[in-house]
Amino acid sequence: MSDIWKLSIGTSKGKEFVNLYFNESRFRYWSGKAIGIKLKTSENAELLRSAFELKLLEGWKPEKRTAQKKPKPVVDASFLSQVEAGLIKTLEGNYSYHHKRDARWVHRELAKFFKEKGLTNLSCDKFKQQHLEDFVYQSKWSNRTQKNVVTTLKCITKGEIHERFKRIKTKRTKSTLHKPIKDVTSLLTDLKHFNQNLYLTCLLTYGCLLRPHQEIRLLRWEDIDLEKGLIALSGSRNKSGRNRIVPIPPFVKKELTSFKEQEQGLIFSNQGSPYSKDYFSVLWKRFKENSIVELDGITLYSFRHTGAINVFEKTGSLLKLQQVMGHSTMQVSLTYLRGLEIQQLDVNDLPDL
């Protein structure tokens, strides 16, 4: 028997909520926590309703809340050694280079702070929450850095230690709006005259929405099927961990065809080995220094942001954006949209006289 459900937006005491009837049971949601999305109805009720609809179509089912047992505190080792154990598992796991880098840095800062305060060997049961707050709320760190420290520590810990970091509240940072590139064609033309490798990277970042420093830098000719017009990457080759197939637009296919000089191996290769992780960043920095165009705030990822805006404005589909961007979850796509300069209203939606 197939599930029967109906979604709508209701109101209670002046506050909107997502109203779900599922197999004759009623559920109310004021946020997307149940489907793993950080979005409240007070922010955008219609967008949250659409997110629930997509999850239901994917097979998600609502569950009634059940009381969860609190994890027992770890008392047989020092607090710092437990965090270190979580770090080791993270470094051994299939995580991105940047996540592992941040985890190492945060653990190093935590160990240094503990040593200065004489807390290195203090056990978990004797450790005070104030010690952690003193570490996070250091004046040398901005609000954004403090938030990133807490987020990273929550990722590499579990149990009681994880709960301790969850209780730390950081100040909300102001959102940064990623500006799209106004004239992509002209900028790409300048890049083509400056450096062929950088030009092709920016073209792939914009046209195929690939990530420059990992996916494109390590891209191989065998990943590309010019006849079918597709780029295929396995889960181990991209950030989401899922297999990713990306169509190649005609203007990108044309450049790839003329750029191709070998039948296999890396597209961008230094005598058979991939260039360093900073290769394209250094090239971009040199280009900005020599360019007569104002490029403040524009990075390599601005080409991906601009491409994403183009896709969403053409399709209006959150699901298609998630698929083409290679995002692991819908929450990532929603977060991405919040940071982009996407027009939310049409001029016809505004008041008139």
Q: pLDDT tens digits for the chain (353 residues)?
A: 577 888 999 888 888 999 988 888 889 999 998 898 889 988 888 888 889 888 888 888 888 766 555 545 444 578 888 899 999 999 988 777 778 999 999 999 999 999 998 988 888 778 788 888 899 899 899 888 988 888 898 888 888 788 888 888 877 766 566 678 889 999 999 999 999 999 999 999 999 989 898 889 999 999 999 999 999 988 777 776 678 888 999 999 999 988 876 556 888 887 778 898 889 999 999 999 999 888 888 899 999 888 888 888 888 777 887 877 877 777 777 766 666 665 544 445 444 54
Q: Same domain, yes or no, for 306 and 225?
A: yes
User: Does 226 share its domain with 278?
Assistant: yes
Number of domains in the chain: 3
Q: Which domain holds residue 10?
A: 5-57
Closest listed residue to residue 157, CA positions, set 85, 231, 62: 85
Verify that 93 and 50 share a domain, yes or no: no
Spatial separation of the C-alpha atoms in residues 157 and 155, rounded to whole Å: 6
Residues 198 and 297 in one domain: yes
Residue 349, C-beta contacts closer than 8 angstroms, at least 6 positions apart: none
Q: Is residue 330 part of a domain?
A: yes
Residue type for position 278:
D
Q: Domain with 216 in it: what CATH number?
A: 1.10.443.10
Do residue 229 and residue 278 come from a single domain?
A: yes
Within a domain: 282 = yes
Location of structure tokens 């926590």: 33
Among candidate residues 135, 166, 197, the one where a domain is terminated:
166
Instruction: Judge whether 111 lies within some domain.
Output: yes
* Boundary of a domain, candidates 118, 140, 166: 166
**152 with 234, same domain?**
no
Question: Which tokens sit at 133?
Answer: 């707050």
Q: Let me know if residue 344 belongs to a domain.
A: no
DSSP code of residue 214: I
Task: Find how far residue 88's CA is from the centre of its chain.
Answer: 23
Residues 331 and 190 in one domain: yes
Residue type, 221: W
Distance CA 168, CA 157 (A): 14
For residue 270, being part of any structural domain is answered with: yes
Same domain, residue pair 229 and 160: no
CA 145 to CA 53: how far, in whole Å? Answer: 35
Contact present, 72 and 163 (Cβ < 8 Å)? no
Residues 11 and 127 in one domain: no
- Is position 171 within any domain? no
320 and 333 Cβ atoms separated by less than 8 Å: no
CB 196 within 8 A of CB 209: no
Q: Do 83 and 35 share a structural domain?
A: no
Q: 218 in a domain, yes or no?
A: yes
Q: Is residue 50 part of a domain?
A: yes
Assess whether 160 and 188 both reside in one domain.
Answer: no
DSSP assignments along 127-177, one per residue: --HHHHHHHHT-TTS-HHHHHHHHHHHHHH--HHHHHHHHT---PPPPPPP
